[in-house]
Amino acid sequence: MGDPTTELEQLRTELRRREAEVAEQERQLQRYAADLRETFKQERERAQQLRDSYVATVRALANAVEARDAYTGRHAERVASYALMIARAHGTTMADDPQAEFGFLLHDIGKVAVPDAILFKPEPLNEAERSLMERHALVGWEILRDVDWLAEAKAVVRHHHERWDGDGYPDRLAGEEIPLAARIFAVADTLDALTTDRPYRPGRSLAVAREIIAAHAGTQFDPAVAEALGRLDDDALDAVREEHT
Ligand SMILES: [Fe+2]
Ligand SMILES: [Fe+2]
């Protein structure tokens, strides 16, 4: 048996060594944590930059379509604002997804393929002209087809002229077969079309536009979406028009 004093001394030394080791491991862990925090922060910043450049690209595309049409002006931006407001009133979380807004902004991108003579014809379109005009929904979807990150947005582009009763185009979807974002968009688009001046008629008042949309709930429009518009007050809708004219 060894000297108890020496043994105690050895145990103390061993204990100190272990404590030092633990302290070193602790410091190591803290360094890892700090590195991770820094990496996350950089990653978040990069993701934000990426999102910003997506938004800028989408806006540039939307503006390219609008630049042709002096009458509709900033239609895409107004419609996107209306649609987001209606989405919130409807209670869907869709409004928080930037994808939906991209789809709203790009809805008429397919009009790049519609000749000016048809796009700006003040008289009613004949059968052949109308079918050319109606192709813009499918053409728009085809333009964006391979852009994977626009998945949800593409549904709005393709289906923004479907009708609740199945009488729309291009796929004659009905009711809830139509993606919700497209059902919401249809109401917003009509609201803006009605309240905007056209070469052949002045814009209607908000009150008249509301009546027209309510009268087409259940045929052209999803009744729940039309109701959501009914819950928005005039001031909020007027503010959109004032901001984007
Ligand atoms: Fe359209
Ligand atoms: Fe539109």
What would the pLDDT profile of 64-80 be if each residue is shown by its tens digit? 877 777 656 688 889 99
In three-state secondary structure terms, 173 is coil
Segments making up each domain of the chain, as ranges: 1-67, 72-243
Task: Please tell me the number of the ligand nearest to residue 69's CA.
Answer: 2
pTM for this entry: 0.79
In the DSSP assignment, the letter for residue 205 is: P
Task: Please tell me the number of the ligand nearest to residue 185's CA.
Answer: 2
How much is the average pLDDT of 140-144?
94
d(C-alpha 50, C-alpha 176), whole Å = 33
Q: What is the pLDDT of residue 235?
A: 95
CB 240 within 8 Å of CB 183? no
- Name the residues annotated as catalytic: 111
3-state secondary structure 129-170: HHHHHHCHHHHHHHHHCCCHHHHHHHHHHHHCCCCCCCCCCC
Q: What is the pLDDT of residue 72?
A: 63
Higher-confidence residue: 124 or 222?
A: 222
Task: Please tell me the number of the ligand nearest to residue 109's CA.
Answer: 1
Q: What is the pLDDT of residue 100?
A: 85
- Which residue pairs from 231-236 have beta carbons closer than 8 angstroms and sit at least 24 positions apart in sequence? 231/89, 232/85, 232/86, 232/89, 234/206, 236/85
Q: What is the pLDDT of residue 70?
A: 60
How much is the average pLDDT of 175-195?
96
C-alpha distances out from residue 236 to 1, 131, 229, 230, Å: 90, 36, 11, 12
Share of the chain above pLDDT 70, in %: 97
Any idea which architecture 72-243 has in CATH? Orthogonal Bundle (1.10)
Distance 109 CA to ligand 2 centre (A): 9
Distance 107 CA to ligand 1 centre (A): 6
Element (H, E) at 229: helix 223-231
Q: What is the pLDDT of residue 141?
A: 95
Least confident of 8-12, 40-44, 117-121, 149-153: 149-153
CA-based radius of gyration for the chain? 29
Q: What is the pLDDT of residue 1?
A: 56
How much is the average pLDDT of 36-55?
92
How much is the average pLDDT of 163-185?
97
The structure tokens listed for 188 are: 């917003």
How much is the average pLDDT of 42-60?
90
In the DSSP assignment, the letter for residue 126 is: -
Mean pLDDT over each residue of the chain, to the nearest integer: 91
Distance 137 CA to ligand 1 centre (A): 6
Distance 92 CA to ligand 1 centre (A): 23
How much is the average pLDDT of 190-207?
91
